[in-house]
A and B are shown apart, each in its own frame.
Chain A
Amino acid sequence: MAWEILGASIGWDEFFFLFFAIVTIAGAILVLYSKEIVRSVMWLALAFMGVAFTYIFLGAEFLALIQILIYVGAVSVLMLFGIMLTKRKLLGGDRGE
C-alpha cells in the first residue's frame, strides 16, 4: 500500500520512518521548551527512543538495543541523578518545596 504525497510515494516503511523522525524532533524541541528541568530529561529519553527506532529502520537492530540500554537506561538516569542532587526544590514554580 502506498500513498502519493507532494509527488512522493509514501509506503509503510517511509510512513513509520517519518513518524519516528517527527517523534524524535518533537522530543528534542520539547527538551528546550519545557519549564521543568526533569520533564526536559523525560523528553530527552523520548528523543533517544525515537533515535533507537530509526536505527531499527536502518537495519541496525544491535545499535538500536544498545541505544536503549545505554542512553535511556543509563545516561538519562545519570542526568536525573545529577539534576536532583544539585536542585534545591523538588518541583519548581509556585509549587511548594
Chain B
Amino acid sequence: MTSIDLWGGMDALTNWLMDDVLGALFNWLGLHGLADFLMSDTLGTVIMLLLIGIFVFIVGFLVDITMIWQERKMLGRLMDRRGTMVGPLGYFQNIADGLKTFLKETIIPENADEGVFNLVPVLYIGTSVLLLGTLPLSTQWYMSNSELGVLLTFAIFCIAPFVILLGGWASNNKYTLIGGMRAAAQIISYEIPLFLAVVSVIILTGSMNYGDIVAWQQANVWLGIPLIIGFIVFFIGIIAEAERVPFDLPEAEAELVEGWGTEYGGFRFGLMMLTDYFRGYAGCAVVVLLFLGGWDGPGFIPEEIWFLLKAFIVFAVMIWVRGALPRVRTDQILSIGWKRLLPLAAINVFIAIALKALGVF
C-alpha cells in the first residue's frame, strides 16, 4: 500500500521555507531577531497547519470542479445532448461560469433582513467547506484524525438546514420561505434513518474513527456487503443530505424559481452552486469511507487515487439517479423517511447486532 505522507511532506516544506529560505535571507540581511522568530518551532507549527489546510482545500476544490464537470457532461449524455463544450472535453466551462458570476452585481432586496441575509452565505459556505477537513483521503492524507471523526462530519453537516431556513426567512420572499420550510421538513424525515445506518457501522467496527473503520474493512469485508440494507438507506439519506434530485426540495428550480437561494445573486449564487458540490463530494466520501472500503484496493495505485476513484463512481450513480427520477413531494419525503427508511434502518441495526453477537466478525 502506498500513500502520500501529507504531514511529513508539509513538515519538510515548512522547514525548507522558514529555515533555508526566509531565515537565511533575513540572517544575510542582518535582521537576526526576525530570522530567529521565523525559525522558531511555534511559528513553524502554525505555518505547517496552514499549509496542510491549504493543500487539503486545493485537492477538495479540484475534486469539486471535476464533479461539476462530470455532472454537466454525464447529465447531458443522459438527456441525449453533448453537455459543456468549452475547452478539452468541456472542462473549462466551469471556470468561464465562475468568472461570469464574479462580474455580476450583488443585490440585497429592499425589505430583507440585511444582517441575517449577509450572514447566511458565510455560514452555509463555511460549514460546507469545513467538511473537507474532516475527511481523510488515506492513512496519511488527512487534516483531522479525531477519535470521533464520523460524529464530527455529521455535526458539521447538520448545521446547513438551519442556515437554509434562516436564509429563506431573511430574504423576505414567499418562494425562499417555502424553500426554507421544505429544508426543515426534509431534515426531520431523513436524519434519523441516516444516523441509524451509521450506528450499524459503529456497532460492527467498534470505532468512530475513519482510519479504524477502513482498517476493519480491509481486515474483514467491505461493510456494504453484510449491511446492504443499511448501505441503500444511507445512500438515499445522503442524497437528501446533499440536497440533490430527487430530494432537492429546498431548491426545486421548476417550482420555486431557485428555492431558498432565489434572492442571492452574482458571486454568492456562484459560490453556493460550488458549495452544493462540496456537500455532494463530502456525501460521496462518507459513503465510500463507511460502506465501500475507503482507500482499500490493490496496491499498484496510491490509496488517495483509489479513494477518489470510488467517490467519483458513487457520484456517477448520484447523477444517474438525478437523470432517472422525478422530484418527490414534501409529503412523499416524509412518508419515505418515516414509513420506509426508518423500519429498514432498524432491521439493519438488528442485523449488525446479530452479526456482532454471533461472532461472525
Chain A residues at the B interface, C-beta cutoff of 8 Å: 36, 38-39, 42, 45, 61-62, 65-66, 68-69, 72-74, 76-78, 80-81, 84, 90-91, 95-96
Closest residue of chain A to B173 (Cβ to Cβ) is: A90
Q: Which residues of B contact A84 (CB under 8 A)?
A: 165, 169, 177, 180-181
Q: Which residues of B contact A45 (CB under 8 A)?
A: 162
Q: Which residues of A contact B152 (CB under 8 A)?
A: 65
Is the pair A42, B166 in contact by a Cβ cutoff of 8 Å?
Answer: yes
Choice from A65, A73, A90 contacting B177 with Cβ under 8 Å: A90
For B, the interface residue count at a CB cutoff of 8 angstroms equals: 28
Decide if B250 is an interface residue (CB 8 Å cutoff): no
Q: Which residues of A contact B155 (CB under 8 A)?
A: 65-66, 68-69, 73
- The distance in angstroms between the C-alpha atoms of A36 and B115, with both chains bound, is 12
Is the pair B172, A90 in contact by a Cβ cutoff of 8 Å?
Answer: yes
Say how far B346's CB is from chain A's closest CB, in angstroms: 19
Choice from B111, B154, B172, B184 contacting A81 with Cβ under 8 Å: B184
Q: Which residues of B contact A81 (CB under 8 A)?
A: 165, 181, 184-185
Q: Which residues of B contact A76 (CB under 8 A)?
A: 162
- The distance in angstroms between the C-alpha atoms of A55 and B159, with both chains bound, is 18
Say how far B117's CB is from chain A's closest CB, in angstroms: 11
Q: Produce 1/0 per residue, B167-183, CB < 8 A to A.
A: 00100101001001100
Is the pair A42, B159 in contact by a Cβ cutoff of 8 Å?
Answer: no
Q: Which residues of A contact B172 (CB under 8 A)?
A: 90-91, 95
Closest residue of chain B to A45 (Cβ to Cβ) is: B162
Q: Which residues of B contact A77 (CB under 8 A)?
A: 161-162, 165, 184, 187-188
- The distance in angstroms between the C-alpha atoms of A90 and B173, with both chains bound, is 8
The 13 listed contacts between A and B (C-beta, < 8 Å) are A38-B113, A38-B116, A61-B146, A69-B155, A69-B158, A72-B158, A72-B162, A73-B158, A73-B162, A73-B187, A73-B191, A90-B174, A90-B177
Given A38-B166, A90-B172, 5 more pairs with CB closer than 8 A:
A36-B113, A81-B165, A81-B184, A84-B180, A95-B111
7 closest A-B pairs by CB: A73-B158, A68-B155, A65-B155, A81-B184, A65-B151, A69-B155, A77-B184
Say how far B154's CB is from chain A's closest CB, in angstroms: 6
A interface majority secondary structure: helix
Is the pair A78, B181 in contact by a Cβ cutoff of 8 Å?
Answer: no
In the complex with contacts A36-B113, A77-B184, A90-B172, A65-B148 CB distance below 8 A: yes
- The distance in angstroms between the C-alpha atoms of A72 and B151, with both chains bound, is 14
Say how far B159's CB is from chain A's closest CB, in angstroms: 6
B interface majority secondary structure: helix
Is the pair B169, A74 in contact by a Cβ cutoff of 8 Å?
Answer: no
Closest residue of chain B to A62 (Cβ to Cβ) is: B148
Closest residue of chain B to A67 (Cβ to Cβ) is: B155
- The distance in angstroms between the C-alpha atoms of A61 and B148, with both chains bound, is 8
- The distance in angstroms between the C-alpha atoms of A37 and B156, with both chains bound, is 25
- The distance in angstroms between the C-alpha atoms of A66 and B151, with both chains bound, is 8
Q: Which residues of A contact B187 (CB under 8 A)?
A: 73-74, 77
Say how far B180's CB is from chain A's closest CB, in angstroms: 8
Say how far B193's CB is from chain A's closest CB, in angstroms: 14
Is the pair B169, A72 in contact by a Cβ cutoff of 8 Å?
Answer: no
Closest residue of chain B to A95 (Cβ to Cβ) is: B111
Say how far A48's CB is from chain B's closest CB, in angstroms: 10
Which residues of B79-108 have CB atoms within 8 Å of chain A's CB atoms? none
Q: Which residues of A contact B161 (CB under 8 A)?
A: 73, 77
Say how far A47's CB is from chain B's closest CB, in angstroms: 14
Is the pair B166, A80 in contact by a Cβ cutoff of 8 Å?
Answer: yes
- The distance in angstroms between the C-alpha atoms of A73 and B113, with both chains bound, is 22
- The distance in angstroms between the C-alpha atoms of A90 and B156, with both chains bound, is 28
Is the pair A69, B113 in contact by a Cβ cutoff of 8 Å?
Answer: no
Is the pair B151, A74 in contact by a Cβ cutoff of 8 Å?
Answer: no
Q: Which residues of B contact A91 (CB under 8 A)?
A: 111, 113, 169, 172
Say how far B35's CB is from chain A's closest CB, in angstroms: 22
Is the pair A90, B191 in contact by a Cβ cutoff of 8 Å?
Answer: no
Say how far B50's CB is from chain A's closest CB, in angstroms: 19
Say how far A97's CB is from chain B's closest CB, in angstroms: 9
Which residues of B271-326 have CB atoms within 8 Å of chain A's CB atoms? none
Which residues of B311-345 have CB atoms within 8 Å of chain A's CB atoms? none
